[in-house]
A and B are shown apart, each in its own frame.
Chain A
């Protein structure tokens, strides 16, 4: 054992003599301290996200060995991977569940930063890069969902790409750019593939690097309440004390993902058929559900403007507010932040949770409980006769009724 350790040490020394890498990194790692207080648990989310991103990259690369990005071959290649390739099911299931877990942790991370006001000066750029990363993650989820080219993904993408189309002037152009034409076709699949495996990961990598450098430069933010109360219990070194705790979290994440993969392997469903009627109950991924559901509940017209357009612009405005939070939530002369922001964050969180809940519990109308035509036309939340974005969903429901 001693000899082995000596041999490994020699090899490492050999590399260090030539690269000087550890000499560069270790002082930075040792310099970093992690504050200890009652909210310290939220500090683990950032490291967890880096780990999950690396896991997605690794499993994604393995999937690339078999995946064929075309309308003719995508579904079959995933089917082959799931049924014939040794551990193919495991790789795809971990990639699929990993994506869900990563986006869930992104939400947690973002809301923890919002509630602990970790975005305040001088961390504005850290926040901006974080919001950009949030959008990139949603983009990765949206583009990746279509890649198996199955029925649910196909029609969900049709609805999803229809939504930006309601924005005047640029909307139709964005929709056509996303789809690579007027409809969701093989052209959409190839551009989603390109975005998913190269453009968005590259952007994410650059943003993560910048984000981590910023965190390194400014250190971990201590919440204002802890600062005021002086309740911080000192700090621990990032390396190795905090990093080893990170490892524990990562191992737990692997265990969760392995269990999900074993008990609930990623499903594949039926191959997408653009000429088939949309099946009933088409839903987006859970992280888009609140937006999807909100648009559905909006009336057809609000103050003479198309309801859906109001909804899309509303979410656009919400995104802008989110981006500009560090500049809008300015402390007063005593360094206190207004409570309204905290309540705003809780309100947004409740809104997201409630709409998501409604999205999953709402029943798809069937012919048995179809309301009379007059009731449908009078109902404020009726889907019938809705505008562009819900044509595909409206179609799905009509098909279910007929």
Chain B
């Protein structure tokens, strides 16, 4: 059934080139074992494995791990038909598709609901059409730029793997390297007026650190901001929306105060104006002062109230940080004295939450919004401080209690020893004192 659909679709598109129906045809593009003796790909592989030239040998070696190979698709699924063992160019054999042909060739299956429903129903069907809207696709289509990426530049041909496979060229940990194959190549980028250090910058930025140093594969990489098949740099007006995919609260506040519009009008790129783009540093509270001096002054003059709000926001954040540190130090001291303050430590996490919210609220550019979050945090630190103080008081009480107990016990022991002495005196003289 699957074979019939695949063949019907291949015939209809004409791009996979006239696959013949029939088991007698060697190299039939149909599901089956790739590695096995009866594999449709076996004749191609047999021959290519005998080649010395790496260019010809490699496809035969790597195709065994290819996702298409594992699904039973053979060489001719892409390269057309091979009657007998002869290469018949005129019958549609496509030895190597041109760069313009690649997207269409892949799309012959990947854009087909019938085929994709059979093999991988979750994959979107618009990857090819997306590609033609991408910066890559447009340059290829409009300028016939043979240097731009097409499907096989990102997805290693003959060794295409699922993005979740760590060996895949499009696994989150490998995406930047894959992009850098071209975007890190000065010879390729310079003639196109494109910078070539984005991947290196990205690695040094906060997202790169999350991804490569902390191993957090949920951290965004190139395609999360630029798109993958429809890859294109976000326009000035859409940068905040791109960042807002993850940083939703900041985007919401940024839109509410209409700065998305003001920034675009001023030619400033939303979030990137303050945070940078590829080499985004881990944000610090000092950024407030820097942004005030650099970015805000693009529109706001010295006399604008924006200055006071920014200073106030920085002070508010600082006050909560100081207060949290002080409460933590007090609780740690109480803990070192053996007091049970784990619940107080847990409750103090509310202050950290409030600080995170307040830092997000900075994007409202309104000190009152920030103050509201800071107030919740200060309340939490006050509670922690009072618990620490109570613990210190309790600790003193315990010491005093122990001293009183020791005094009472000492008196009791003394009384008992006196009584024992009296009793022992009444014993016969030959009984020794053994106490």
Are A and B a genuine interacting pair, yes or no? Answer: yes
Instruction: Please list the residues of chain A having a beta carbon within 8 angstroms of any beta carbon in chain B.
Output: 36-37, 40-41, 79, 82-83, 89-90, 233-236, 240-241, 244-245, 247-248, 251-252, 254-255, 258-259, 262-265, 267-268
Q: Within the complex, which residue of A36, A82, A240 is in contact with B340, where a contact is CB–CB below 8 Å?
A: A82
Decide: A233 and B434 in contact? CB cutoff 8 A: yes
A262-B398, A264-B338 known; A234 vs B424 contact (CB < 8 Å): no
Contacts of B423 in A (CB 8 A): 240-241, 244
- Rounded to whole Å, the gap between the CB of A359 and the closest CB of chain B is 24
Contacts of A248 in B (CB 8 A): 413, 416-417, 420
Question: Total contacts A to B, CB within 8 angstroms?
Answer: 75
Contacts of B419 in A (CB 8 A): 244
**In the complex, A82 Cα to B433 Cα: how many Å?**
44
In this complex, what residue of B is CB-closest to A88?
B340
Contacts of A244 in B (CB 8 A): 416, 419-420, 423
Q: At the interface, yes or no: B35 with Cβ under 8 Å from chain A?
A: no
Q: At the interface, yes or no: B143 with Cβ under 8 Å from chain A?
A: no
Contacts of B431 in A (CB 8 A): 36, 233-236
In this complex, what residue of A is CB-closest to B414?
A248
- Rounded to whole Å, the gap between the CB of B388 and the closest CB of chain A is 12
Q: At the interface, yes or no: B192 with Cβ under 8 Å from chain A?
A: no
Contacts of A240 in B (CB 8 A): 423
Find residues 293-340 in chain B having any chain A CB closer than 8 Å to their own CB: 338-340
Decide: B420 and A234 in contact? CB cutoff 8 A: no
Q: At the interface, yes or no: B342 with Cβ under 8 Å from chain A?
A: yes
In this complex, what residue of A is CB-closest to B401?
A262
Q: At the interface, yes or no: B343 with Cβ under 8 Å from chain A?
A: yes
Q: Within the complex, which residue of B339, B341, B428, B434 is in contact with A41, where a contact is CB–CB below 8 Å?
A: B434
**In the complex, A36 Cα to B427 Cα: how many Å?**
12
Decide: B430 and A233 in contact? CB cutoff 8 A: yes
14 contacts between A and B (CB under 8 A): A36-B431, A40-B434, A89-B340, A90-B398, A234-B428, A235-B431, A241-B424, A248-B417, A251-B412, A254-B409, A259-B406, A262-B401, A265-B339, A267-B338
Contacts of B409 in A (CB 8 A): 251-252, 254-255
Q: Within the complex, which residue of A79, A235, A262, A265 is in contact with B343, where a contact is CB–CB below 8 Å?
A: A79
Q: Within the complex, which residue of A234, A252, A263 is in contact with B413, where a contact is CB–CB below 8 Å?
A: A252
Decide: A83 and B434 in contact? CB cutoff 8 A: no
**In the complex, A234 Cα to B105 Cα: how many Å?**
110
- Rounded to whole Å, the gap between the CB of B220 and the closest CB of chain A is 27
Decide: B340 and A83 in contact? CB cutoff 8 A: yes
**In the complex, A245 Cα to B427 Cα: how many Å?**
15
In this complex, what residue of A is CB-closest to B398?
A262
Contacts of B435 in A (CB 8 A): 245
Decide: B338 and A251 in contact? CB cutoff 8 A: no
In this complex, what residue of B is CB-closest to A81?
B340
Decide: A262 and B340 in contact? CB cutoff 8 A: no
- Most A CB contacts (10 A, CB to CB) among B343, B401, B432, B434 go to B434
**In the complex, A233 Cα to B433 Cα: how many Å?**
9
- Rounded to whole Å, the gap between the CB of B434 and the closest CB of chain A is 4
- Rounded to whole Å, the gap between the CB of B268 and the closest CB of chain A is 46
- Rounded to whole Å, the gap between the CB of B341 and the closest CB of chain A is 7
Decide: B340 and A265 in contact? CB cutoff 8 A: yes
Q: At the interface, yes or no: B399 with Cβ under 8 Å from chain A?
A: yes
* Chain B interface main SS type: helix
Decide: A255 and B432 in contact? CB cutoff 8 A: no
**In the complex, A93 Cα to B416 Cα: how many Å?**
27
**In the complex, A83 Cα to B394 Cα: how many Å?**
10
Contacts of B88 in A (CB 8 A): none
Decide: B427 and A241 in contact? CB cutoff 8 A: yes
Q: Within the complex, which residue of A236, A258, A259, A263 is in contact with B338, where a contact is CB–CB below 8 Å?
A: A263
**In the complex, A258 Cα to B432 Cα: how many Å?**
33
**In the complex, A255 Cα to B402 Cα: how many Å?**
9
Contacts of A265 in B (CB 8 A): 338-340
**In the complex, A41 Cα to B399 Cα: how many Å?**
32
Contacts of B432 in A (CB 8 A): 36, 233-234
- Rounded to whole Å, the gap between the CB of B426 and the closest CB of chain A is 9
Contacts of A263 in B (CB 8 A): 338
Decide: A236 and B424 in contact? CB cutoff 8 A: yes
**In the complex, A36 Cα to B416 Cα: how many Å?**
19
Decide: A36 and B434 in contact? CB cutoff 8 A: yes
- Rounded to whole Å, the gap between the CB of A46 and the closest CB of chain B is 16
**In the complex, A247 Cα to B418 Cα: how many Å?**
13
The list of the 5 closest CB pairs from A to B, nearest first, reads A233-B432, A82-B340, A234-B431, A262-B402, A83-B340
In this complex, what residue of B is CB-closest to A258?
B405
Other A-B pairs beyond A41-B434, A258-B406, 4, CB < 8 Å: A233-B434, A234-B432, A244-B423, A262-B398
Decide: B416 and A251 in contact? CB cutoff 8 A: yes
**In the complex, A263 Cα to B341 Cα: how many Å?**
16
Contacts of A252 in B (CB 8 A): 409, 413
Contacts of B402 in A (CB 8 A): 258-259, 262
**In the complex, A252 Cα to B409 Cα: how many Å?**
8
**In the complex, A234 Cα to B427 Cα: how many Å?**
10
In this complex, what residue of A is CB-closest to B406?
A255
Contacts of A241 in B (CB 8 A): 420, 423-424, 427
Contacts of B417 in A (CB 8 A): 248
In this complex, what residue of A is CB-closest to B412?
A251
- Rounded to whole Å, the gap between the CB of A30 and the closest CB of chain B is 13
**In the complex, A265 Cα to B433 Cα: how many Å?**
38
Decide: B434 and A37 in contact? CB cutoff 8 A: yes
Contacts of B344 in A (CB 8 A): 83
**In the complex, A358 Cα to B435 Cα: how many Å?**
36
Contacts of B427 in A (CB 8 A): 236, 241
- Rounded to whole Å, the gap between the CB of A29 and the closest CB of chain B is 14
**In the complex, A208 Cα to B340 Cα: how many Å?**
36
- Rounded to whole Å, the gap between the CB of A264 and the closest CB of chain B is 6
Contacts of A236 in B (CB 8 A): 424, 427, 431, 434
Find residues 379-424 in chain B having any chain A CB closer than 8 Å to their own CB: 398-399, 401-402, 405-406, 409, 412-413, 416-417, 419-420, 423-424
